[in-house]
Amino acid sequence: MSQVKLTQVVKCAGCAGKLAPKYLSQAVHGIQWHTNENVIQAMENNEDAGVFKLNEQESLVQTTDFFTPVVDDPFIFGQIAAANALSDIYAMGATPMSALNLVCYSEELGPEILNEILRGGNDKAKEANCPILGGHSVKAPELKYGMAVTGIAKTANIKYNHGAKAGDILILTKALGTGILNTAIKRSNLSLSTMTALVESMAGLNKNAAEIMMKYKVNASTDVTGFSLIGHSMEMAKSSNVDLLIQSNELPVLPDVLNAIKEGHITGGDKNNRIYTEGHYKIGSKVSSATQNICFDPQTSGGLLLSVSKKDAATCLKELQGLCQHSKIIGEVLPSSNQQNMVHIS
């Protein structure tokens, strides 16, 4: 197999390559999406996945995600893309049932690379006990891979990004900075130890975090991906009609992210996420510009952001840290002060 650097054959890496959220909002504006009596959750509130009632007790939870390479190794890229696609299912408290592969590929890269990508995706799906039933591929000049995933859950137990309550504690289950470090990879500027930590984070399933959260009173949940910590926090605040307070000095951050910021490895998604959240965040005077970059950094296969009842937060965190070592309390939920549903970064 030829030594092709996958990050060099695409313009953007991972979730940083998403359409700008403001642009996407304009594109879908005014469409009356067809629905029926079985649709419990579709496009509203920017939820992580759609929910379709299967019977009186259970619902299907459906999502899809695909993106360009964030690493050069095709097998690892496949693992990361699969973990990222599965994440929305876990964020809703559901169990993955099956998946379909989605592939955009240039035949000039050769079948061996695609074989490795698909093997990587299958490896991660196997870890999730989620059979891949097939998929679809198209010829394309830029490589993309991901999955459409179907999960199942007890309808009454599904977690949404709405439902956060004043007094709740905010817990984040993975460290931040993947977009910044992925940009450093693309520019061939990342140490082996940092690369190892980054890959471990992105390829890690949110399975353990999801199983633990279901044991406690978690009032709202979302996974932190391309719209950044602040973007997904804003969506939680708006859909729950609350404010969120994020303590920036408590944020878990991957190794060497601050050095990468100093070297200028900032994604275009940073600017897009600031535009998307404009009018819904306030930054404290002591919050550094580098910390702001981390807060608005688009994440690839990020962790879960949980709004946990105050009485359960400490116990939930302790159990999370046993399996998800970077889990931390990063803030709290406040009553909405002026109906703008602000995210306060202090």
DSSP 18: S
Residue type, 119: R
Residue 299 CB neighbour total at 10 angstroms:
30
Please, which residues have CB within 8 angstroms of residue 186's CB and are 6 or more apart in sequence?
Answer: 7, 8, 13
Which tokens go with 279? 């009018």
| Residues 90 and 174 sit within 8 Å (Cβ to Cβ) | no
Q: Exposed/middle/buried for 94, CB within 10 Å: 0-12, 13-18, 19+?
A: buried
The candidate with the shortest Cα–Cα distance to 212, out of 162, 160, 246, 173, is 173
Partnered with residue 146 across adjacent β-strands are 66, 102
Residue 246 CB neighbour total at 10 angstroms:
23
Q: Cα–Cα distance between 319 and 73 in angstroms, integer?
A: 33
Which tokens go with 19? 């359409």
Return the sign of the alpha-carbon dihedral for residues 49, 168, 280, 16.
Answer: negative
| Residues 59 and 155 sit within 8 Å (Cβ to Cβ) | yes
Q: Cα–Cα distance between 106 and 295 in angstroms, integer?
A: 35
Q: Cα–Cα distance between 244 and 160 in angstroms, integer?
A: 16
Catalytic residue among 12, 15, 130, 295: 15
| Residues 43 and 33 sit within 8 Å (Cβ to Cβ) | yes
130 is catalytic: no
DSSP line for 40-97: EESSGGG-SSEEEE-SSSEEEEEEEEEE--SSS-HHHHHHHHHHHHHHHHHHTT-EEE
Active site residues: 15
